[in-house]
Amino acid sequence: MSNENHAIRDIVIVGGGTAGWMAAAAFGRFLDNGQRKITVIESDEIGTVGVGEATIPAILNFNRMLDIDENEFLRETQGTFKLGIEFVNWGRLGESYFHPFGHYGQDLHGINFHQLYLREYARGDHRSISEYCMSAMAAKLGKFGRANATARSPVSELFYAFHFDASLYAKFLRRHAEANRVVRQEGKIVRVHRRDSDGFVESVELADGTKIAGELFIDCSGFRGLLIGDTLGVGYEDWSHWLPMDRAIAVPTANIGPPDPFTRSTARTAGWQWRIPLQHRSGNGHVYSSQYLDDDAAEAVLMANLEGEALADPRRLRFTTGRRELSWSHNVVALGLSGGFLEPLESTSIHLIQNGIARLFALFPDKNFNPLERDEYNRGMRDLYEDIRDFIILHYKATQRDDTPFWCYVRDMDIPEPLARKMELFKTRGRVFRENAELFSMPSWVAVMLGQNIWPEHWDTLTDALDEKRVSEAMAQMRRGYTATADALPTHEEFLRKAGAWAASDVRIVP
């Protein structure tokens, strides 16, 4: 049986930026069979949201899939390593905690490590749970190491992702895509043509009259959603009643020292401020709710709390937290901002793009566009957005702050039932269950819950079967191992330079 007669041969990606060029690079690598044409339509007139970008470890899979050399990638994007996120002022003013990549300690006899930690904490050992995590200890000391395939614990437990310049990342991926025969078409789309028979998008028309036809369209047009929203009329599910942040201000600053191997998120009066350290600068921004803080005041908060000199004027962004009701409609698949927006608190924006691409590969259609494939894609993307949404809401709900109306609102607001159930299960005996294909695993939930002072009333009963002395000795040995290993690592910048991942020194002054 041949698929040739029904194979999709023309794929059109509307929009460049991070989403467009991630899709183009992946499509060029895996879908270019010599008979398929892949076109990216991008206009120099339309700017992109190119700021300092932070990621989660899944991006390593994307890079490996494209055969991207990690050191080259870091050089070209002015990138740094990321071991997790430091959260400041989220539980209470003056407090901080670290959400690391990787896991905590070692399970004993099938009992989750954090349950052992809870028992030891109740017995008077009030050390931070971060002392039992390789990534957290390396981040604390400003160290980094890349484990090889044969590395043993605890070095093998050093999980990481990246920070990079989003504009440079798009240019880097464009080179990879064009090397695989992806064609870039300069131009601004002024009209979209649909088939009368079924409403499918048939072609897009540029300002100069050029028409570009396609069989599958990927909408990477940003918040507007030119195809998925404006053309096909797919609605938008507004989640701002749970996540009322609707504004952001971004500004780059000069580095004041070596880049930290972690992102920092500092809670402010009506939102939070990010700091993403790159090789040549730091990305900074203030995400806030305009219901509780006006734009000028928000900008003043950001500018007053920068660590280094501002390298450009602040840039203001507007958004509505939520998602398209359908990520795939007719013959259009939305990726990136056109498909939805979740604030970058846990650095999930690029993962949503990456997952959308991988899911499309797994359910890649032919010209018949089987609705079962489309429905399965939409179900998976809906679940992913909702999982991430609930994890982000947790950070706001799990606060003890009452110093501003904003924090009082999010602390007292109603939350989605799945999140309420997770929080209650944790409050009783510290239990966390990963459901279906949830993105965030048990250590992530534990990090935020404990970091923001949600302490269970008791630990899991099974823990009481273990000998207290042996558990205490085992945990002491774990702490020593993590501390000694982190201490022996090179500094973050030393590693980047020795690995050949550090770009020319003069780029530090470029905004």
Please choose, from the candidates 309, 310, 314, 307, the residue with its C-alpha nearest in 3D space to the C-alpha of residue 260. Answer: 307
**What amino acid occupies position 164?**
F
* 3-class secondary structure, 65: helix
* Beta strand ranges found along 208-321 (DSSP E): 211-213, 216-219, 236-238, 247-253, 263-268, 271-277, 282-288, 315-318
DSSP 124-141: T----GGGG-HHHHHHHH
Q: Contact at 8 Å (CB) between 284 and 313?
A: no
CA distance 408 to 401: 7
User: How far does CA 444 lie from the centroid of its chain?
Assistant: 14
By CB atoms closer than 10 A (0-12, 13-18, 19+), residue 372 is exposed
């991926």: which residue's tokens?
173
Please choose, from the candidates 176, 210, 204, 215, the residue with its C-alpha nearest in 3D space to the C-alpha of residue 23. Answer: 176
Q: Contact at 8 Å (CB) between 270 and 244?
A: no
């924090």: which residue's tokens?
407
- Which positions are annotated as active-site residues? 82
